[in-house]
Amino acid sequence: MFELKILTHFAAAHQLRMVAKKCENLHGHNWKVEVCVAGDTLNSWGVLMDFGELKVHVAEVIDTLDHKFLNELPFFKGNPSSENIAVYIAQALAAKLEGTDVRVSRVTTWESEDACATYRP
C-alpha cells in the first residue's frame, strides 16, 4: 500500500455549539490541513498519482471553505468543528477521486498548533 500526503491551509470563521464554552463566540482559525490518499498500485510512471493533480483537487475543495463563515454552509448546520471539517474535506475529495484506484485514507485538521482532529473514512 502506498500513501501520499499533502499539506494546505485555509482561514475561516465559525461559532461552535458547545454549551457555555468560549468557542460559542464568533471567532476564526487558520486551519492547517493534512490530506492523505492511498492505493495499492503505481501507474506506469511509478507514482500513485501526481502530487500536482492531487493538489489541484484539494485546492478546489479548500476554496469552498477559505474565508467563509462556516456556519453558513449547509454541510455544517450541525456544528463546524474540526472533526466535521475533516469529514467534509474527505467526502468532497473522495467524489473527485471516484473511478480511480486512489482513495482518501486520512484528513487531519489542525485548528491551532496543539490541537487537531483526524478522520479516517
Ligand X SMILES: Nc1nc2c(c(=O)[nH]1)N=C([C@H](O)[C@H](O)COP(=O)(O)OP(=O)(O)OP(=O)(O)O)CN2
Our finding on whether 92 is near ligand X (CB under 6 A) is no
Alpha-carbon span 75 to 70, nearest angstrom: 9
Our finding on whether 75 is near ligand X (CB under 6 A) is no
In the chain, the amino acid numbered 118 is: T
Say whether 36 is catalytic: no
Alpha-carbon span 104 to 52, nearest angstrom: 16
Task: HSE, CB side, 13 Å, CA atoms: give it for residue 111.
Answer: 19
Say whether 83 is catalytic: no
What residue has cell string 455544517? 76
Among 81, 102, 104, 108, binds ligand X (CB under 6 A): 81
Residues 11-70 interacting with ligand X (rule: CB under 6 A): 16, 23, 27
Stretch that binds ligand X, among 31-39, 54-62, 63-71, 109-117 (CB under 6 A): 109-117
Catalytic residue chosen out of the listed positions 23, 24, 60, 72: 23
Say whether 67 is catalytic: yes
Stretch that binds ligand X, among 31-39, 41-49, 90-98, 110-118 (CB under 6 A): 110-118
- CA 108 to chain CA centroid, Å, is 7
Alpha-carbon span 14 to 34, nearest angstrom: 20
Q: In 1-121, where does DSSP find H-type helix?
A: 51-63, 82-97
Kindly write out the interface string for residues 75-114 of this chain, putting x where it contacts Zn ion by CB under 5 A and - elsewhere: ----------------------------------------
Question: Residues with catalytic annotation?
Answer: 23, 67, 111
Q: State the binding site for Zn(2+).
A: 14, 27, 29
